[in-house]
Each structure stands twice: as C-alpha cells, then as structure tokens.
Structure 1
Amino acid sequence: MMRRPPAPRSSRARLHQERLPRDVYVLGLIAFFVMVGFGVVIPVLPVYVREFGVGYLEVGAVVSAFALMRLVVTPFCGRLIDRIGERTILASGIGIVAVSSGLVGLAADYTQVLVLRGAGGIGSALFTVSAMTLLLGSASATQRGRAMSFYQGGFLIGGMAGPAVGGLLATISLRAPFFFYAGTLLIAGLIGLFLLQPARPRTDRAAAPPPVPLREVLRDVRFRAACLANFAQGWGTMGVRTALIPVLVVELLHETAAFTGIAFAVAAVAQTLALAPAGRFVDRVGRRPALVGAFTMAGGMLLVIPFVDSSAALIVLLALYGAAAAFMGPATAASVGDAAGPRNARPVAIYSAFSDAGAIAGPLVAGALLDAFSYPAAFASATVFMLIAALYALRMPRLQLT
C-alpha cells in the first residue's frame, strides 16, 4: 500500500517564514545611524543652548521647534512623495537634517540655533514619512509586523549607543556632537543611495494598481485606530514618560539624575528584546489583540508609576512599559499598511502627524496637571488616551491574513 505524500504546508505558514525584503534591512541600518547621531545630540543640546546666555524657556523652545516643524510639514509630505518618490524625499530629508545639524555646531547666536533646529524638524518629517511609506510598500501584509519591528530595532539600538558617544564627545567640545551627528546622517544617506532598491520605472508604476483613495482610508476603522493609538503613544512616551519621570526620580525617589538614564536604558533593552516576538505576534495573531493588549498594559503601567516607593519598582514598571511599547509600533504601522495598501504616502503622513501632535501637547498638558494637581493626575492623562486607543481598537475586524 502506497503511503500518501505529506500534505503541503499552507501558504500562510510559508508567507510567515519568508525572508524580509532587502529594503527592510537597509532601512533598519539607516535608522541605526540616524538615531546614533540623534542620541549623541539630545543630551548635549540643552547645555549647548545655555552657553548662549539664555533661560530655560529658550532651551525648551529649541526642543519644541524641532517637533513643531515636524508637525507642520508632515501633512505635506505625502503629496511630495507621490510626485517625487520615496527615495528622493528620504535622501532630501536626511540631507536637510545633516546640513542643519552641522551648522548648529557653527552657530554664532541663539537665533541661529533655533532656526536651524526648526529646519532639522522639516528634514526629519520628510525622512520619517518617506521611510515608513517605503517600508510598508516593501513588506507584504504578512510581513509588516516583523518589518516594523526590525526598523524600530535600528532606532532603539542606535538610541542606546548615542548618549554614551555623546558624553565622550562633549568632553572635547559641546559643538563636536553636532558635527558627529552630521557625519552619521551622511553615512545613512549614502547607505540609502547605494543599497536601497532603485525606484521602479515610470511605466511599471503606471501599470500598478492605483492607491486606495484617501477618503476611503480615512473611513477605515483600522486606520482610525492606528492614528488614535499613535497619538496616545506620543502623549504617553513624550508627554509623561520622557518629560515627567526624570522629575519624579529626583523629587519623589530622591535619586540622582543619572539614575534616570539607567532606568531608561533598562527599559530600552526590554523593548529591544521584545521586538522580534512582537513582530511575529502582530503578523500571526493579529493587529487588534496586539493593540488592545499593549495599550492596556502600557496605560496600567503609567497609572501605577507615580505611586512607586522604590527605585527597583520603577525600573520594573519601565521595563514592562518598554515591552508593551515593542508591540505598539509594529501593530499601528501594520494597521496603516492594511488600510492604505502599499505606496500610499498621504495616509502615512497623517498617521505620523498624530504622533507629533501627541508629543507636543502631552508635555504641556501633563506639566500643567502636575503644577495644578499631582503626579497621579499628570500620569493619568496618558492612561486615559492609552485606554481609549485600546477600546477603539476593539472595533477593528478580525482580519485573517492569507
């Protein structure tokens, strides 16, 4: 009696084990070099600005100028990318940030620093939207979670390496980190120029299916859920985690400012280790459970943090928050890709703008709540948006990728 041949593996199983496209790996490498330089500059920037004899309000204005210009320019990035192409806009964005950062190191007064950091925000918006559009266009529907995890990993690893290098450079000169940043951006631009796949010929682009109309994308519950979640993440990460935890560490836990760096480093390691499992979860189990679980967990962590009474407890909570954050980026980005399809830049630009809006409003509102009420009230503002995002994500369909 002849034995039957083994049943072929399902197409879905094969797709989940496909190697990620080359452009995904290249974009992850670009993200690493971009974030190494960014991580070098950020700890030094406030001290450098103070060298011009200005107050803390002016220091905050320089930081806000970067984020504000990102928010202003991001909505226009989609049309530019549709007309010129992702790779050209990506290279242009990196070039603008590189030149403006190098010139910051040569600035003669505060006004020049403010204007140049604003220009850097413009370049950052161009780079962010074009890279995300290229990433979602390169990966298939069953790879988007893993692709975003790898890309996000490049940022995280670069972000962990940057501050250490920045500290060493600052001992030489407060201007040196800005030249270093320009150099890492130059490397990132060259990697993109020589290693990214060349753009498709115009005839091929014309023959490709048209992108999903923006009006249809805006009505898609998956896209709305992703935008709301991105706003909540911007609010929680920048408005509460980054802005208030350093103050909490010093004023409530009576630790040194250096402890904040250690706690954030542990959280970044936890997030990095969770990225690969998170990407697989998003692709295999689904976007909806990842969004609901991650934002519920992150919101709970932020609600508990102001009540901690020990440094060890804070590190544990931040590590758990980092693990939850590992699911946020892949799940939201994959949801945008599912709703908008590949090579559709305008929805990506809108999605990115929600994060910038949260990052700008979050520090202001959370700071005002802390002044008027308490730490729990300030942290609860982020929890509210996190839970709203999780509840809205329950409306997403149980999409089965095949």
Structure 2
Amino acid sequence: MTTSTKTVQKVNAAAIATFLVFGMNGLVFASWAARIPAVMEALNLGSGQMGTLLLCTAVGSLVALPSAGWVVGRIGTAHTIRSAGMLVAVAGTAVAFSLMAGTVAGTALALFFFGVGIGLWDVSQNIEGADVEHRLGRTIMPQFHAAFSGGAFVGALIGAWLSEIGVGLPEHLLVIAGVVVVLMLIAPRYFMPHVAHAVASDGAMAAPKGPSAWRDSRTLLIGVVVLGATLTEGAGNDWIAKATVDGLDASESTGALLFALFVAAMTLMRFLGGRAIDRFGRVAVLRASMAAAAVGLALFVFAGNMVVAALGAALWGIGAALAFPMGMSAAADDPKHAAARVSVVSTIGYIAFLAGPPLLGYLGDHTGIHMALLAIGVPILIALWLAGAAKPLVKQD
C-alpha cells in the first residue's frame, strides 16, 4: 500500500469520525432541548425561571468560546474535543442527579459546565472539519453541519418517544452521557494531526504567534456574515411554528409541520450544497443563500395562505443552510491561524444565536411575532453585502 493511499484512508477516516462527532453534538443538544418541559416539572419552574436556568448554559458557552482556539492551539483538536465531550458527559450526569434531588442551584451549576463543554466541542469540531476539508480538497463542511441537524432531529424523536413511554429525563441523560463517553474514547483517535502548529521543546503544540484574531478585519467581517446567518437560522428554529399559529391563524400541529419543513430544507441543502460551492464558489453561493433567505422570509411573513407560507419556510431554510458552515470554512482558510479565527467567528455567531431570538420575542410583544421576524431582514441584507469577505485566501482547485 502506497503512502498516498494510506493518507487518503486516514483523511477519509477522519471525515467519518468528524461526521459522527457533529451528529453526536446535535443529538446531545436536542436530547436536552426536547425535554425542557420535564425540567420545568421536576424543578417546579415557570417560563421565566426556566429561561434564567437556560442562560447558565449560554453563559458557560460564552465563557469557553473565546478561549477555545487557544486550547486547540495548545493541545490539538483531538484532545480538546475529547476533554470537551468528557466534560459534557460529567455535567450531564450532574444535571441528572440534580434533577433527581430537585435542586435548582445544582442544576444551574451543572448546566454552566455543560455549556463550557459544548462551547469547546463546537469550536474544535469546526476546526477539525475545516482541516479535513482542506486535506480532501473539496467542500464538505456543510455535510458536517447536516450531521448536526440530523443528530438533532434524531435526538428530538428519541426525546419525544422516551417521554411518551414514561422514561424520566435523568435516566435519559445518563444514557446519553454514557454514549458520549464511548464516542469520545474512539472517534478522536482518527482525527488528523494539525501540521500547521509548531511543536515546542516540551512536546506541546505551540500556538502560532501573531496579531490577535479579534483585530483581524477579514475575520471580523466573516463574523458579521455568520452573525446574519445564525440570526436567520435561530429565528427560524425558535419562531416559525409560533408565527404560523399567530400570523395565519393555524393550529399548533400546522405550525410544527412548517417548522419541520424549514429544518428538512436546511438539512437537505447542507447535504447537497457542497457541490454547488465547489462549482460556483463560496462567495456566489453565500450571496445566493442570503438572497434566498431574504425572499423566503418575505414570502413567509406576507403570505396570505398556507401554500405560500410553506414555500417561504422552505426557501428560508435553504437560504439558512450553508452560510454558517461556509463562514467556518472561510475563517479556517489559513491553517496556521484557523483555531483562533474559528473561535472568534464562533463566538460572534453564538452571541447572535443567544441574543437574537429573545430580542425578537420582546419585539413581538409590540408588533406580533409574525411581523417581528422582518427585523432579521436587516442582518440578512448586511450579510449579503459583506459576502465578499469570505473569498478564499488562496485559489481553490
């Protein structure tokens, strides 16, 4: 077997491992999110109190994200994602026992560390995904994000089924924690070493020296584009179902179906979009994506009937699908600075993901959530305008 064949096999194995890691991340997220009502019941919380509890996870992730690039630069993606996964498993176990004990404070503390783990996991999986993409020489990042969406879909179905048959959330979380541990012991072994990093005298991986990624104008512009993308995706995830019920006087089941259509369109586009990016280029596809999201949003908001609203939801999902993974690829164009720049772009995107949907909710109190969705048209158009920032640093084959 030639060296070239061995290298191809190693890269393919890394791609499969990264795909599984992305999928597991989505499953973990949905396993928790789909059973939030069970948390409220176990701890006797109202909606506002639950919102505050969920903020603990968000704060944990926001604490971890800015430093995630530095951590990857020091110990590599494999060790970072393994550590992050183990932290998520331990924190998930702590959440389970806190729910059994009925302690809000214990649950809040566990959720904070759960968020830290998720933040590190998110950045390191995107860095590994970008590295695999570089080595393959073709666009594959959208497929990794499709794995996340698919994992979230499966996790939501599992959560609904376990709830229906009466399996408690603590038991559910303990099983998920066990699966995470097994995956993290196996999958990172197949990750590719980061050749862009120098090796220090003590054997540790030394992060490259240079200006802070927070002062790199291209990285910040890509972050703004990703901000528009995450607002687009987050608003659809959180508000399509409710906006369908309020704006079109539809049933809750119909609202759920339109949300499912949005997710399905986004997932399908992520699986298929890599070929379009390779053929037409990242910037062209990014502009087309933001234009599709803008048109889909307008159709959905101003629809006079369910058929037009469904068309709008599908087009919205198609437009929201590729911008975030393309932003991650753009941030990682220079492998030497990929860890720091992906960390910066992820942080900007996560802040938008955290702050955007609640702000739309507050706006919806005054205008109705259906019309409030038009507010995300502004960041969509800004992302469309700045799409050129994602132009590859080197010409792609």
CA distance in 2, matches of 1:245, 1:226: 26
Q: Could you give the per-residue CA deviations for residues 63-85 of structure 1, whole angstroms, max 9, x where no partner exists?
A: 23222221222111111221222
Are 2:331 and 1:336 equivalent residues in the alignment?
yes
Instruction: Tell me how far 1:187 sits from its aligned partner.
Output: 3.3
Which of 16, 40, 44 is matched with 1:49 structurally? 40
Q: Provide the secondary structure at the position in 1 that maps to 2:139.
A: helix
8 Å Cα contact 1:25-1:150 kept in structure 2: no
Q: C-alpha distance in 2, partners of 1:161/1:375?
A: 28
Partner of residue 225, structure 1: 221
1:10: which partner in 2?
none
1:40 & 1:341 partners in 2: Cα distance?
33
Query: Aligned residue for 2:309?
Result: 314
1:20-46, Cα deviation, whole Å (9 max, x unpaired): 643122110122123223222211123
Displacement of 1:393 in angstroms is 1.6
* Partner residue, 1:291: 286
> Who is 1:268 aligned against?
263
Residue among 167, 172, 184 paired with 1:177: 172
**CA distance in structure 2 between the aligned counterparts of 1:124 and 1:341, rounded to whole angstroms:** 23
Does 2:228 match 1:237? no
Structure 1, unpaired ranges of 5+:
1-16
Distance 1:210 1:92 in 2: 18
What is residue 154 of structure 1 aligned with on the other side? 147
Where does residue 360 of structure 2 map in the other structure? Answer: 366
Higher RCO (CA < 8 A, seq sep 6+): 1
Check whether the contact 2:197–2:208 (CA below 8 A) recurs between aligned residues.
Answer: no
Partner of 1:32: 23
Task: Indicate the residue corresponding to 1:3 in structure 2.
Answer: none
Confirm whether residue 392 of structure 1 aligns to residue 383 of structure 2: no
* Structure 2 partner of 1:69: 60
Matches within 5 A, 1:83-94: 83-94=74-85
Residue 102 to residue 374, structure 1, CA distance change in 2 (3 Å) = same
Question: Hey, what's the Cα distance between the residues in 1 that align with 2:217 and 2:301?
Answer: 36
Alpha carbons of structure 1 residues 158 and 210: separation in structure 2 relative to 1, 3 Å: closer
Distance 1:235 1:199, change over 3 A: closer
After superposition, what is the alpha-carbon deviation per residue over 1:343-371, rounded to whole angstroms, capped at 9, x for unaligned? 63111111100111101221232112111
Amino acid at match of 2:147: G
345-354 or 271-280: which moved more? 271-280
Q: Is the 8 A contact 1:268 1:322 kept in 2?
A: yes
Classify 1:81/1:167 alpha carbon distance in 2 versus 1 (closer, same or farther; 3 Å). Answer: same
Kindly state the Cα deviation for residue 56 of structure 1 after the two structures are TM-superposed: 0.9
**Contact 2:25–2:148 (CA under 8 A) maintained in structure 1:** yes
How far apart in 2 are the matches of 1:60 and 1:212? Answer: 40
- SS state at 1:105 partner: helix
Confirm or deny: 8 A CA contact 2:21 2:125 kept in the other structure. no
Cα distance change on mapping 1:121 and 1:199 into 2, 3 Å: same
Q: 1:113 to 1:313 in 2, by over 3 A?
A: farther
Q: Distance in 2 between matches of 1:156 and 1:131?
A: 14
Counterpart Cα distance in 1 of 2:122 and 2:138? 17
Distance 1:299 1:241, change over 3 A: same
Q: 1:142 to 1:83 in 2, by over 3 A?
A: closer
The aligned counterpart of 1:12 is: none
Alpha-carbon distance, 1:179 to partner: 2.1
1:300 aligns with 2:299: no
Between stretches 115-124 and 187-196, larger displacement belongs to 187-196
Distance 1:401 1:193 in 2: 27
One-letter amino acid of the counterpart of residue 224, structure 1: L
Q: CA deviation at 1:49?
A: 2.3
Asked whether the 8 Å contact 1:278–1:330 carries over to 2, the reply is no
In the other structure, the counterpart of 2:3 is none
C-alpha distance in 2, partners of 1:307/1:56? 30
Q: Give deviations 1:138-162, integer Å, cap 9, x for gaps.
A: 332873632x022112112111211
Task: Determine the structure 2 residue equivalent to 1:164.
Answer: 157
Looking at structure 1, the residues matched to 15 and 347 of structure 2 have their Cα atoms a distance apart, in angstroms, of: 22
Q: What secondary structure, in the 3-state scheme, does the structure 1 residue paired with 2:134 have?
A: coil
CA gap 1:47/1:246 in 2 versus in 1, 3 angstroms: farther
Q: Distance between the aligned counterparts of 1:178 and 1:134, measured in 2?
A: 26
Query: Letter of the aligned partner of 1:287 in structure 2?
Result: R
Where in structure 2 are there 5+ consecutive unaligned residues? 1-7
Matches of 2:338 and 2:200, distance apart in 1:
12
Measured after TM superposition, the shift of residue 342 of structure 1 is: 4.8
- Answer yes or no: is the 8 Å Cα contact 2:229–2:383 preserved in 1: no
Residue-pair matches, total? 382
CA contact (8 A) 2:290 2:384 kept: yes
- Match of 1:245, as an amino acid? I
Q: Could you say what secondary structure the match of 1:85 adopts?
A: helix
Structure 2: distance between partners of 1:347 and 1:70: 17
Match of 2:95 in 1: 104
Aligned counterparts of 1:210 and 1:71: Cα–Cα separation in 2:
21
Call closer, same or farther: CA 1:374–1:267 in 2, change over 3 Å: closer
